Every structure is written in structure tokens, then in C-alpha cells.
Amino acid sequence: MSVIRYCNPDVVFITPKDSVQEAVELMRYRHVGALVVVEQHPEGNIPVGMLTDRDIVIEVLAEGVPVDSVTVGDIMSSELKTVGEDEEVAEVIRLMCRLGVRRLPVVDARNTLRGLITLDDLIRLEAEKIADLAGLIGREQQQERRRRP
């Protein structure tokens, strides 16, 4: 199963030059706790970092820095790891565990942003698999009752 089938293609993004105040407003308006930071190119958006609500709290609010005086590029996590759209879900799970991250941008062969895969997406997928297995048990029991009343 390739990750592109399960990632969210509606990625909320921002650029490094935008202010943290703009990021906060975007997060609130779109109801998200993280933004993919991109460089915008004619062929598409290239992810260059991530900005989380936690980054803002730790790097700006806790330090007493006015949010309108700092850019996204000043505080974003720039050691960004991405996954290719054809990457297998199991490998993505292993990578997220190894890196200790809850979300990864999904990119195509040109490194253009295609989606975002999150811990929530993966839990939902695994829960569906478990529900299917539980359903199998129930159907197996029903079939046996029909064969052996």
C-alpha cells in the first residue's frame, strides 16, 4: 500500500518569509496544529520545513517575543524529512517511529508537495484493518452456525 492513497492531499502550508502572526492565524482558521513550510515554484510547492504550534509556544511565546516580529523561517524545523508518494505505509510507520515525528510531507519524484501523512491517518488505517479482522471472526462463526446448526 503506497502512502499517497492514505495521506491528506489538502495540505495547509506557509512560506518562510511569512510572519509567525500569519501562521497562527492560518492555524486557527484551518484548525491545524502544524504547517508545511514551502518554497513556491512554478512547478509546485517544495517543502523546506515544518512549523508546529509547539514551535511557536517554545520559541516565541515562552521567550516573550512578539509574534508579528518573527518570521516562519526564523523558527521552523528545517531538518525536514519527506517521503515519496510511492513509499509503502509500513516503511513510513517505521520511519516516523525512528524519527519521533507525528507527520511527514509526501512528495513526488520532483520533490513537489503532494500531501501530508500523519499519525492520525495511520492510526485510522490500522484501526480499519483491525475492524476488518474482527469482522472476519464474526462471519466465520456465522458460517459455522449455518453449516452445523
- Give all domains of the chain, ordered by start, each with its CATH number: 3-118 (3.10.580.10)
- Please list the rounded mean pLDDT of every run of 10 residues in the chain (149 residues): 92 97 96 96 95 94 88 93 96 95 96 96 86 75 72
Q: What is the pLDDT of residue 147?
A: 76
* Three-state SS at 104: strand
Distance in angstroms (rounded) separating the CA atoms of residues 4 and 7: 5
* Three-state SS at 100: coil
